[in-house]
Chains A and B, each alone.
Chain A
Amino acid sequence: MIFIQYLSLGVLTGALYGLMAAAIVIIFKATQVFNFAVGTLMTFCALLCLSLVLDFNIPFWLAVPIAIALGGIIGIVVERFGLRPLLAQPLLTLIMATLAIDNILRGVMLMVWGGHELTFPRGLLPGKTILLGPVFLPHEFVYAFVVALICFALVGLFFNKTQTGLKMRVTAESHEVAMSLGINISRMFSLAWMLSLMVGAVAGIFIGSRLGLQVVTTSQIALKAFPAIIFGGINSISGAIIGGFAVGILEKMAAGYIDPKVAEITPYVILLAILLIRPEGLFGIKRIERI
């Protein structure tokens, strides 16, 4: 029974890791940029939502869509001024650019919201911790899980059923091919960042609703999405989601059966193991190198 408890908690947190992982993969697929700043960007959107609720007295159900929309705008701005000038630069330049953005945003957040922990008002999400026999489920995470599933479905529909999604898949496949087909790839890059940050904002808001928001620690939660991405393969959104669940479950299992302290590094041990055994991940594409 305790096993089911850990499993369900793992699945619930795994959905959030999956959301963050999907946010990174969407950008990587379209632009080949690995976004190290996803944690800070996500925290930024969540803090915006918090401010909308606390300072502007906007009801939560309205604040969330506004924050998500603002997240999309931030994504476009960051792409336009931070990453667009660096198109087709070497990998380290791109990674460092996202790390620089991460630092700038962290500084801004420390200035605006300070370094202390902020929490959403209590009872924001209706309901209380769900008890299924001996298994308890925090209701915030259940909401988050449902919303995450809706997000996954929407992202899947967008990529598979719409014309713009198709264009984005072409861009991900090859920039040259996309351009030769008349696709405006810089617009696709903006769109990828917008979409990614909207997904990231959802993750940030629901993490914040359960755990509270602190500029540095909340941002670091997103680092746990990296193992999820490596697990699923960097090129696969569905892989990232499955990876998120896997990391979430393994982390909670380690916390329950071994030691809560071990859980802190479990994702990174998984990361190392995957890198050594199967670097391209479960669903990734193995690239053949030529000189």
Chain B
Amino acid sequence: MWRPCGVIDDTYEKDLSIIRTRQQLVLMTLGLIALFLMPFYVSGVALNTINFLAITIVSLHGMNILTGMTGQISVGHACFMAVGAYSMTLMVKYWGLSFWLATPIAMLITGMVGIIVGLPSLRIKGFYLAMATLAAQFIIPWMIVNVRPDITGGTDTLTVLPPSIGGYLFTSQQSLFYLCMSIAVFSTYFSRNILRSRFGRAFIAIRDNDLAAEIMGISNVRYKLLAFFLCSLYAGLAGAMYAVWMRGISPDHFSLHESIWYLGMLIVGGMGSVFGVVLGALMIRVLNVMVTYIGPYIGQFFDSSTALVIATGLGPIVFGVVVLAFLIFEPAGLARIWHRFKTFYRLWPFAY
């Protein structure tokens, strides 16, 4: 890794630290203050999008641990979110638990489901594992719809009660912003910590060559299942947040297409990079919002039926083109571009 000139690590703690210089500390503090003052200078509609973005980031961190760091391809991420969202909502609805207690339990339940889905990863890998998660992606929503429709509401939307503290209800976008954004910031920090710890190094070793890792004494069973567990913890948390943000959930919210969008965000952001996750989620969600505004604008030049059709078709096209462009021209994603920019900025006006 590149360091600014004059920053020398004389201990291992310094080598691993996130904040190295005074400048970074100041920038990060100011950035966090600006972030948490956002409800004062951003409109409610934009906050709605930002909350969704925060939820996406939390979910994507989970996928980054599983797919980016450990290299286990999952096309069933949305079904983990469904498990989290439904178990949280049902516990609040039928057992009368508060959101603050139901969410950790829902996360653990999702983690267990993740371990079960991850079990085939011990025998199969790569594309075969993608098939196994694809099966989970179909079986879990099917179970939500068909096993006990009287409890889960079947294909209908299940309404979610807002979380509360001492009588204060988290219903406005402003209050949800503080909830979602704190979780997003904390989960980013947690994810970064995993990456620089023993676990992160084990995950990366398994990604690069799982047989070699096993021979070096990294238990594949333990770390692959741990990766699935952590991924599902994040997904469960994101699912619970999604339920609260959406105020109603149905199996349609957690379709295969959603899972593929998460994979695409991971590619655009840069696999295995924590900051890349934030960038990737930001880029795809912002593009999607732009498409919803641009679609009708383009459509107004045509007749009204064409306008509607363009608005629906533009989203997938933009997503596909962006992902394909990143795959072909910058496979390491936005994280790599950001890294290049930092290096350039540090040396400017000199070439090297």
Q: Which A residues lie at the B interface, using CB under 8 A? A: 34, 82, 85-86, 89, 91-93, 95-97, 99-111, 114-115, 220, 223, 226, 230, 234, 261, 264-265, 268-269, 271-272, 275-276, 279, 289, 291
Q: Is the CB of B212 within 8 A of A268?
A: no
Interfacial chain B residues near A275, Cβ < 8 Å: 120, 123-124, 128, 131-132, 135
Q: Report how many residues on chain B are interfacial, defined by Cβ distance under 8 Å.
A: 45
Q: How far does the alpha carbon of A102 sit from the alpha carbon of B264 in the complex, in Å?
A: 12
Name which of B36-44, B196-204, B243-251, B309-317 contacts chain A.
Answer: B309-317
Q: Is the CB of A86 within 8 A of B135?
A: no
Q: List 17 A-B contacts (CB under 8 A).
A: A34-B127, A82-B324, A89-B327, A91-B73, A91-B127, A96-B264, A107-B314, A107-B316, A111-B310, A115-B312, A226-B134, A261-B142, A265-B139, A275-B120, A276-B120, A279-B123, A291-B209
A96-B263, A100-B324, A107-B320 known; A264 vs B142 contact (CB < 8 Å): yes
Q: Is the CB of B267 within 8 A of A226?
A: no
Give chain A nearest CB distance to B302 CB in angstroms.
11
Interface flag for B87 (CB, 8 Å): no
Q: How far does the alpha carbon of A212 sit from the alpha carbon of B328 in the complex, in Å?
A: 36
Q: Is the CB of B312 within 8 A of A97?
A: no
Q: Is the CB of B312 within 8 A of A103?
A: no
Residue in A closest to B271 when the chains form the complex, CB atoms: A92
Give chain A nearest CB distance to B83 CB in angstroms.
16
Specify which of A34, A82, A268 is in contact with B135 (CB 8 Å cutoff). Answer: A268
Give chain A nearest CB distance to B138 CB in angstroms.
5
Residue in A closest to B259 when the chains form the complex, CB atoms: A99
Chain A at the B interface: mostly helix, strand, loop or mixed? Answer: helix
Q: How far does the alpha carbon of A92 sit from the alpha carbon of B317 in the complex, in Å?
A: 20
Interfacial chain A residues near B328, Cβ < 8 Å: 85-86
Q: Is the CB of A103 within 8 A of B317?
A: yes
13 further interface pairs, Cβ-Cβ under 8 Å (given A264-B138, A268-B139): A92-B73, A96-B323, A97-B324, A100-B264, A102-B260, A105-B320, A107-B317, A109-B313, A111-B312, A226-B131, A261-B142, A269-B135, A272-B132
Q: Is the CB of B321 within 8 A of A97?
A: no
Residue in A closest to B324 when the chains form the complex, CB atoms: A100
Give chain A nearest CB distance to B163 CB in angstroms.
33
Specify which of B67, B71, B271, B320 is in contact with A102 (CB 8 Å cutoff). Answer: B320
Q: Is the CB of B127 within 8 A of A110?
A: no
Listed from nearest, the 5 A-B pairs whose CB atoms lie closest are A107-B317, A103-B320, A104-B320, A111-B313, A107-B316
Q: How far does the alpha carbon of A89 sit from the alpha carbon of B146 in the complex, in Å?
A: 40
Interfacial chain B residues near A97, Cβ < 8 Å: 324, 327
Specify which of A96, A102, A111, A230 is in contact with B128 (CB 8 Å cutoff). Answer: A230
Interfacial chain B residues near A101, Cβ < 8 Å: 320, 324
Interface flag for B31 (CB, 8 Å): no
**Complex interface residues of chain B between 288 and 337 (CB less than 8 A to chain A):** 309-310, 312-321, 323-324, 327-328, 331
Interface flag for B5 (CB, 8 Å): no
Q: Is the CB of B124 within 8 A of A272?
A: no
Q: How far does the alpha carbon of A34 sit from the alpha carbon of B73 in the complex, in Å?
A: 13
